[in-house]
Amino acid sequence: MKYFFTLIILLSGTCIFAQTAPNFTVTTSDGDVRNLYNDYLNQGKVVVIEAFFTTCPPCNTHAPYWQALYQSQLIAHPNKVEFIMLSTLQSDNNTKVGIYRNNKGLTMPGVGNDGGGLAAILPYMNGQFGEFQGTPTFIVIDTDGQVT
């Protein structure tokens, strides 16, 4: 449990005051339709979003560690946490995201532009939740929908 809270502290954004996350519906690179509130938050899950793109050098470098963290959190907190990757590039479609996930051995959902990933991540990129520092950026949304 201490690692989970450490994760939340480390990945928390720069916002001093929590703000409510906007809802989104996306189609993952696996073809699954996911809604932030209905499929995750209303089910009592904390959501950790990675803003990434498939050719991002730091994203590529940390991918094995991101996967290991995802797996450890699923084991430590079954049905209480979900990670999702949302691409920040218009040119990253679900096919490219799927290839990236397969090449990197990533099992968390990933979403390209044609799956709604860019539209879903845009509020976090446009300054609504503080300054966007580039990729990778990690966004933690608690079960009440608060971006912390």
Determine the pLDDT at residue 18. Answer: 76
Q: What is the mean pLDDT of each run of 10 residues along the chain (148 residues)?
A: 48 59 98 98 98 97 97 97 98 98 98 98 94 95 95
Q: How many residues does the chain have?
A: 148
Task: Look at the block and give the residue holding tokens 């991002």.
Answer: 56
- E strand or H helix at 102, and its extent? helix 94-104
At residue 17, the pLDDT reads: 59
Report pLDDT for 9.
43
Supply the pLDDT for residue 148. 83
pTM score of the predicted model: 0.88
Taking CA atoms, 37 is separated from 26, 67, 143, in Å, by 12, 23, 9
**CB neighbours of 43 closer than 8 A, spacing ≥ 6?**
79
pLDDT at position 16: 44
Q: Residue 41: beta bridge partners?
A: none
The predicted pLDDT at position 3 comes to 53
